[in-house]
């Protein structure tokens, strides 16, 4: 049975990244009766930052060549490390159990939210492979950062996530669903681009639903 892990990381309860993620998740859940779904709101239930004990676990993995995810607990030795692992374990279990990982990721200050970065840090270990899992990013940005636009070089949000998934997790299937120019709803300087935002969001919603259906039906 196909399993979806759905993460939200926006500080806004009614954000565009949440709306996009919900469109994908709703299509996933309604397309197959046996589809499984796990949801984690990283804003409502923040993940703490990594600490010294977490870094010690990583050092042991590197030193002793522990690379299989099932063997990670072997690197947990001290009481402090066991306490750190108690945070990691449920997060990692959700990630490993998933066939598809859906991440709601707004752009904050050219990058991802602190909530999302904390989760990534907690579940990432040396020489870790998550292939053949698929990753889907439900993105929202206040301006336009698409290739060819003046602000494209400042996209450290989706580019970071895609580079990380492929470069560290060895994932080859990562897709971005994006809504651009959300600030046109509130910033008078962007008001003339409001229709462009609306079109971007409508297209992203349609694609999210289509992708949710097509991915779940592929399992």
Total Cβ atoms within 10 A of residue 184: 22
Task: Please give the residue range of the domain that contains residue 104.
Answer: 3-217
139 is in an annotated binding site: no
What is the number of helices (H) and of strands (E) in the chain? 6, 5
Strand intervals (E) in the chain: 3-8, 36-41, 100-106, 134-140, 174-179
Give the CATH number for residue 189: 3.40.50.360
- Name the pLDDT band for 215 (thresholds 50, 70, 90): very high
Query: Is pLDDT at 218 greater than 90 in this prediction?
Result: no
24 is in an annotated binding site: no
Query: Is pLDDT at 5 greater than 90 in this prediction?
Result: yes
Name the DSSP class of 143: S
Query: Is pLDDT at 57 greater than 90 in this prediction?
Result: yes
15 is in an annotated binding site: yes
pLDDT given at position 29: 96
Q: Which residues of 170-179 are buried (b: 16+ CB within 10 A; e: fewer)?
A: ebeebbbbbb
Q: Name the domain count of the chain.
A: 1
10 is in an annotated binding site: yes
pLDDT digits (tens, 9 = 90+) for 132-143: 999 999 999 999
219 is in an annotated binding site: no
Angstrom distances, CA of residue 150 to CA of 85, 105, 154, 166, 200: 43, 22, 9, 26, 18
């Amino acid at each position: 049975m196909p399993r979806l892990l759905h993460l939200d990381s926006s500080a806004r309860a009614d954000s565009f990244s949440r709306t996009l993620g919900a469109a994908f998740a709703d299509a996933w859940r309604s397309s197959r009766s046996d589809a499984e779904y796990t949801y984690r709101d990283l804003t409502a239930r923040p993940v703490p930052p990594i600490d010294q004990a977490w870094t010690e676990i990583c050092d042991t993995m590197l030193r002793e060549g522990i690379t299989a995810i099932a063997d990670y607990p072997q690197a947990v030795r001290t009481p402090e490390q066991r306490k750190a692992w108690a945070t990691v374990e449920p997060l990692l279990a959700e990630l490993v159990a998933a066939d598809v990982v859906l991440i709601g990721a707004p752009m904050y200050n050219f990058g991802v939210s602190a909530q999302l970065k904390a989760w990534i840090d907690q579940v990432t270990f040396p020489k870790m492979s998550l292939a053949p899992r698929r990753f889907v990013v439900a993105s929202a940005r206040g301006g336009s950062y698409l290739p060819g636009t003046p602000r494209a070089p400042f996209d450290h949000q989706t580019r970071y996530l895609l580079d990380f998934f492929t470069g560290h997790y060895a994932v080859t299937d990562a897709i971005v669903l994006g809504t651009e120019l959300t600030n046109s709803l509130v910033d008078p300087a962007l008001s003339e681009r409001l229709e462009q935002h609306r079109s971007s969001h409508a297209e992203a919603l349609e694609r999210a639903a289509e992708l949710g259906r097509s991915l779940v039906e592929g399992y």
